[in-house]
Amino acid sequence: MEKTILINPATEEEIASYDRLSKSEATSRIATAHQTFQNWKKTSLDERITLMRKLADIFDQNKETYAKMATQEMGKTIGQARSEIEKCAMICRYYADNIHTLVKDDMVATEATKSYVTFQPLGVILAVMPWNFPFYQVIRFAVPAVMAGNTGVLKHASNVQGCAMALENAFAKAGFPTGVFTNLNIASDAVENVIENDHIVAVTLTGSDPAGRSVASIAGKHLKKTVLELGGSDAYIVLDDADLDKATDLATYGRLQNNGQTCIAAKRFVVLASIYDEFITQYTQKMEAATMGDPLDENTYYGPMARVDLRDELHEQVEETIAQGGRLVTGGKIPKQKGAYYPATILADLTPGMTGFDQELFGPVASVIKAKDEEEAIRLANNSQFGLGSGVITGDSLRGEQIALRLEAGNSFVNKLVASDPRLPFGGIKTSGYGRELAKYGIREFMNTKSIWIE
């Protein structure tokens, strides 16, 4: 029997191991999800709201347990893990409060006696999810999908299988019927078989570009809709009128939050030439002052990366960038200690063609880029295969807004780090993926937008 083995990235010790599902067990769970859908789609919005409020309470009641589980399985600091669980509860309540509006029929004036657009659930949705926000990423998909009347099956990242099981239990404890939300503990090479299953009507994947390409091509072959939330290398333009203390605070938190492993983290800082040296001086002081350590210690600013292999890949990208002419300002050395630790690192003077400019650095490494003026800064920011988030840091919000409108990304924020918010759609363009999550745009991705005409 194949097993999923969980390793604590802070200690490199085994936490637990779980048997993977066999092909027939996975098929049987998908059949249950399909069976459940036949009744679940007929439940009233108010019945769903009652259960969703219970799920929110379960997140509140189990905050400490869930947070510790996330920290031990993927290394995020305990304070940020608690915030993640609070955000899950918030999302449940947001959809409970707003579902009536989000899926309300749109009346359309035509020559008909009555014509309108209505939104109906599709069936069983497969979600392939990453480890970096092991509770929230799943909830961001599952809560709207289930509130819309769909059922969901989850293929979670292998290293956070404890969190995946906790999520399935949470839905059950809240009173959702068996099959509304189901965890499939399967390997990534078993995903193809799930997508091919006739009961699966659509697929959402949050993860890397290679995983997205693979899943989308299989789904395409079977004509099943996909939503892809992939990687990013978000550029933040720091203008010459920016408050540098604020800019470097944002840059430090942006690059070290979640131990540097957030899709929408600020990764490239495009800084105007007149403030470039001063930005680097202040930024270096702050990155060096941030404490790396045990993620369960309340005083730790950032912990280990999620896995040793991911840390080693990041280090290779750093070394490659330096070999290509990038300047190592601080960090850049693997510490001699147990755990997937990597120090806060700054690479400066990066230009297109260098690894640290072109690729996503999914860890605590910042890429700093010099631009001679505003126009060049916009060109450099947009010179990327990715288009997830982006930002402008400036003392003039109007100037910031004009630039934000020209950045090629799904989200562009002025004087604030991009963060997902259920009131606004979230997603990317270019190789950061397609489709949206959250807000009315997200919930409707997995609904049949249906026209009704009464002559």
The correct pick among 215, 238, 347, 443 for binding ligand NAP (CB under 6 A) is 215
Give 156 or 311: the residue with its C-beta nearer to ligand NAP.
Answer: 156
Least distance to ligand NAP, CB of residue 126, Å: 10
Q: Classify the phi-psi angles of 355: left when phi > 0, otherwise alpha if psi is within -120 to 50, otherwise beta.
A: alpha
Binders of ligand NAP in range 305-364 (CB under 6 A):
360, 362
Stretch that binds ligand NAP, among 33-41, 207-215, 268-276, 374-382 (CB under 6 A): 207-215
Q: In angstroms, give the least distance from the CB of 56 to ligand NAP.
A: 22
Q: Is residue 263 annotated as part of the catalytic site, yes or no?
A: yes
What's the CA gap between 360 and 351, in Å, rounded? Answer: 14
CA–CA dist 148, 138 (Å, integer)? 16
What span, in angstroms and rounded, lies between the C-alpha atoms of 153 and 143?
12
Contact (Cβ atoms closer than 8 angstroms) between residue 53 and residue 96:
yes
Spatial neighbors of 7 by CB under 8 A, at least 6 apart, are: 13, 14, 15, 159, 307
Is the Cβ of residue 132 or residue 226 nearer to ligand NAP in the bound state?
A: 132
> At 323, phi and psi to the nearest 5?
-65, -25
Evaluate whether 45 touches 28 at the Cβ level (below 8 Å).
no
Nearer CB in complex with ligand NAP: 247/361: 361
- CA-nearest of 171, 234, 227 to 392 is 234
Nearer to ligand NAP, 211 or 247 (CB): 211
Judged by beta carbon, residue 71 or residue 248, the one nearer ligand NAP is 71
String marking each residue 128-167 x if it binds ligand NAP according to CB under 6 A: xxxxx----x-----------------xxxx---------
Pick from 72, 77, 197, 214 the residue near ligand NAP by CB under 6 A: 214
Residue in 263, 270, 344, 418 binding ligand NAP, rule: CB under 6 A: 263
Cβ-count burial of 403 within 10 angstroms (0-12 exposed, 13-18 middle, 19+ buried)?
A: buried
- Report 219-258 residues binding ligand NAP (CB under 6 A): 229-232
- Helices marked H in 324-430 — which ranges? 355-358, 374-382, 397-404
375 is catalytic: no
Among candidate residues 361, 359, 411, the one with its CA nearest the CA of residue 388: 411
Q: 229, 360, 408, 445: which is the annotated catalytic residue?
A: 229
Tokens at 91, concatenated: 């999302």
Examine residue 425 and tell whether it contacts ligand NAP (CB under 6 A): no
Q: Kindly state the DSSP code that residue 327 receives in the 8-state scheme.
A: E
Q: Considering only 12-20, 23-31, 69-77, 124-132, which stretch makes contact with ligand NAP by CB under 6 A?
A: 124-132
Name the active-site residue from 88, 92, 163, 263.
263
The contact set with ligand NAP (CB under 6 A) reads 128-132, 137, 155-158, 187-188, 191, 206-208, 211, 214-215, 229-232, 263, 360, 362, 388, 428, 433
Please identify every residue annotated as catalytic.
229, 263
